[in-house]
Amino acid sequence: MGYFITFEGIEGCGKTTQIQRAAQSLREAGHRVVVTREPGGCPIADDIRAILLDAGNSAMVPMTELLLYAAARAQHVAEVIAPALAEGAVVLCDRFTDSTLVYQGFGRNLDRDLITRLNTLAAGQIRPDLTILLDCPVTVGLARATARISSRQTNREERFERESLLFHERVREGFLSLAGGEPHRFAVIDGNEGVEATATAVADALLSRVPRR
């Protein structure tokens, strides 16, 4: 069986950059690595991602949002994550069930027990072995995210970036709450540091936990 690592954090915390750095470190250590993301990771889930992150869909109600995330995850797990783990790969996933619990539970104030049941329904027996939480102040993360989006000519996935500062504060608090409740699974890393310093901290956390080849 493989090893499942998820990367979590608020918008602009640096997950996308750090997950690529982590993949390189693990490959250099001899691991077969699969990098994927949520929502998305396969064609059907990518189509759902386009709906979820499109700022033009501002009328979407929280329950629709939640169910779309669950649908995308079910396809992603079946098509990408579960097969890769069965083949013994280290799977690095940019967001997973914790993001749903935090964004739709803490952020949208939907029932967290319902979200947990839907996460279980969609993911089956798949659970992260390790979760890297990149934490940084909301104002820092949003500034980074806004700059990233502004640099794009197309595919402006910004529906969540347009949420209120209070929403994003609840999201950050939600992640820290989950990490505090499962310290054995979470490694909380300061995402406010530079790219290189953060990458070193992430690599140390990974290589100390992932079984050696």
Q: What is the pLDDT of residues 140-153, one digit of tens each?
A: 888 887 777 666 65
d(CA 184, CA 168): 25
Distance CA 26, CA 102 (A): 28
Give residue-wise pLDDT tens across range 17-30. Answer: 999 999 999 999 99
Kindly report the average pLDDT of the chain as a whole number: 93
Residue type, 184: H
Is the pTM higher than 0.85? The answer reads yes
- Give the tens place of pLDDT for each residue, 86-105: 999 999 999 999 999 999 99
Q: Give yes or no for residue 117 having a pLDDT over 80.
A: yes
The model's pLDDT over 63-80, given as tens digits with 9 standing for 90+, comes to 999 999 999 999 999 999
Q: What is the mean pLDDT of residues 50-72?
A: 96
Domains of the chain and CATH, by start: 3-209 (3.40.50.300)
Q: What was the pLDDT predicted at 194?
A: 84
User: What pLDDT does 164 receive?
Assistant: 86
